[in-house]
Each structure stands twice: as C-alpha cells, then as structure tokens.
Amino acid sequence: MNSIVSLKWLLARLYESDIVIVDCRFQLGKPESGREAYEASHIPGAVYLDLEKDLSAPIEEHGGRHPLPDIAQLTGTLSRVGISNETRVVAYDDQGGAMASRLWWLLKYLGHEEVYVLDEGFTAWQQASFPVNADQKVLIPAKFLATVQHNMLVEMDEVRENIGTGRVTLIDSRDGARYRGEVEPLDKAAGHIPGAINHLWSEGRGDDGKWKNADEQAARFEGLDKDRETIVYCGSGVTATPNVRALQEAGFSNVRLYAGSWSDWISYEGNPIAVGAEEAPEGK
C-alpha cells in the first residue's frame, strides 16, 4: 500500500475529524529550528513532534545518535497529541521526508496502519498557496495502545552475526562519500558495515521533489532478491526509514531497520569497518 499522500489529497481532507497532521520539521545541529518554524507557520491543525525530544531517546553509550524512544513514553506522547489506533496520521517536514518517515516507521512499529507521509513537504504546500497559520491546536487526548512489531527491528548483534553469510542484503542509506569512508562529518569513525551496499535515501525522490512510484522504486533496487531479508541503516536510524518505505513499496517482503545504525555500530569496540564500494549481492 502506498504510504505517500499528495498535497491536494491532504487539502481535501484538512478538517476531517479522524485525521491528525504532524509537523516533523527538524534540522540537525539546529535543534530548536523545527519548533520555531512550526510556531511561525504550519499546516492548519498540525501538531508538532520533535525528532530528538519526542521521536528519540536520550543518547547513551550505545544505541546511536537517535536511539528509539521508550515505547511507553512514545505511546503517551501520541495519545497526548490526539492520536488513537483509529486516527489517520499524515506527517510532513521540510527535510525531504526523512523526519516524517521516522514518525511513519515508529507508528508502523507500534502497530498503527493508517499513517502517511505528505509528498513534497511544507515549502511546496506554501508555494501552492494552500492555507497555513500559526494557531496552536487545542489538544484533545486520545488513547493509543501499542502492538509492537518486533520483526521490523534488528539489533547490532544480529547484524554482526549475518556479516559474510549471504543470508541478508544490507543497505547503507547515507551519502556515497560517507558510505565509502571518504568523509565523516557526524560520527567518530568513517566507513560502512562490511557487506553493505549503498543506496542514498534521497534518490527515492525525483527531480521534482516528489516520491517515486512503486515501479520507479523497484528500478532503484533492481537485481536484489525481494525475498531475502533486507536490513537498512544510515547514520542514526532516521534517513534509513525512507528507504524502508521505498523497499516495501517496491515489493520487498522482509525489510528491517537497524535503528542504531552506523553511530551505534561504531560504539562497540572491535566491530569491523569497511571502506570503498561493494558489489550488490545477486538476486534470484
């Protein structure tokens, strides 16, 4: 099922009572800028959830730069902003869909089906002359009950156990230069997990800024085995989530997120690091 909705789709349903719109704008290195942008102007009725305060746990020794939030705490946050198990959720950002996709993945992980990412994002919404305001929505709490989908997640030790076995396809969603170990602006070590191939998450969008359709996503991953377990990671588990979406829409049946990602992997002394490019494993 397609997880993307268009600007016009949301405009037509803007005031439907079972929809909660979530503003997920966030800039790495400028942690307050997303909330400030939301308070200045947002899609009418939208609530704001912060990547680091709401959609991540505090940083510890392991778990990466954006550890998954505590489930009970996240469930409470979702309930507080009016998201129930029956709510249709539409998430947007201005970062190409990466932050909105983090919320999409978290809700799917908690067993919530009706969650979508808004195509193109907030700037495109504004440029289309669709309504915006700075009003703060009066929050009416709802009751959200999580049914955790543990099969969507993979931990570091399982990734390590699969290295060199040929049992899984490991996809690194970061920029090619970071994947190859040529540069590393955020983490203390450069390179990638051995055996990983590189598919930059943002290549899931076309030149027009819209997400590619299912056939176009399938073309990105042509040659990979759709039935083999596919593990996706990035720097901290955020920009990997658009690739999880894209792979599922392309027909891959077993896609899991390594949420700690590269920043978690290198927090364990002795984990192997590879540099340069690697060949994609052959599909069926």
Would you name the residues annotated as active-site residues? 234
| DSSP structure string for 43-108 | STT-EE--TTTTSSPPP-SSS-SSPPPPHHHHHHHHHHTT--TT-EEEEE-SSTTHHHHHHHHHHH
φ and ψ of 239, to 5 deg: -75, -5
Task: Please list the alpha-helical segments (H only) found in 145-265.
Answer: 156-162, 176-179, 214-220, 240-249, 261-265
Q: Are 242 and 98 in contact (CB under 8 A)?
A: yes
| Assigned token pair, 170 | 């490991």
C-alpha distance from residue 232 to each of 88, 135, 160, 242 (Å):
26, 38, 13, 10
Element (H, E) at 23: strand 19-23
Sign of the Cα pseudo-torsion (59, 61, 66, 70, in order): negative
DSSP code at position 171: E
